[in-house]
Structure 1
Amino acid sequence: MILKIYSNNDHLADLLHKNPQTDEGLYAKPLKSGIVIGNVVSAHRYEVLFQDMSNGFTEETGNQLDFQSLCNPLAVLNSCTELFGHVLKEKNEYEAQEMKWLNGLTRGQADTQPCTIQVPVFYINSSWYRNGVFLLERYFKGIDVKRMVGNNYYLTITASTLFEAMNLLNLTALFTHLTNVDAFNTFIDDSFAQKYLRVLTNLEQVPYFVLYLFIKRAVKNNAQFTLVKPVLEAYLAQYGIAANLTSEDTQRSRLGFITSEIGIDHAVLDIGCGEFAYYKQLTNKGFAHSYYAVDRDENLRRLGENIMNRMNTDNLSFYTRIDEVLPKERINIIMSEVIEHNAPEVSAALVKRALLFDFGKLVISTPNAAFNKFYFENGFRHEDHHFEFTGEEFRLFIEACTENRADIQVTYMQVGDELNGICPTQLAIIKKKIQDEKQR
Structure 2
Amino acid sequence: MAPSPSPLTVRTVAIPEGDPRHAAELLELLPDRAPLSWVRGGEGLVGWGCAARLDTSGPERFAAADAWWHAWCEGVEVRDEVGLPGTGPVAFTSFGFADRPGDSVLVVPEVVVGCRDGVRWITTVGEPSPHPVRPVGGPGTVRYETGAVSAEQYRRAVVQAVRILRSGDSAPATASVNGTGADSGAVRKVVLAHDLLATTSEPLDARYLLRALAARYPGCWSFAVDGLVGATPELLLERTGRRIRSRVLAGTTWPRPGVSADDLATSLLGSAKDLSEHAFAAESLAAELRPFCGELAVPERPEVLRLRNVLHLASHITGELHDHAASNGVGALLRLAAAVHPSAAVGGTPTGAAVELIKRLEGMDRGRYAGPVGWVDDAGNGELGIALRCAQIEAEGASDAPGGGRARLFAGGGIVAESDPDLEVAEAAAKLLPVREALDGPG
TM bucket normalised to smaller: under 0.3
Higher relative contact order (CA 8 A, sep 6+): 2
User: In proportion to residue count, which structure has more helix?
Assistant: 1
Larger Rg: 1
Normalised TM-score (structure 2): 0.25
Normalised TM-score (structure 1): 0.25
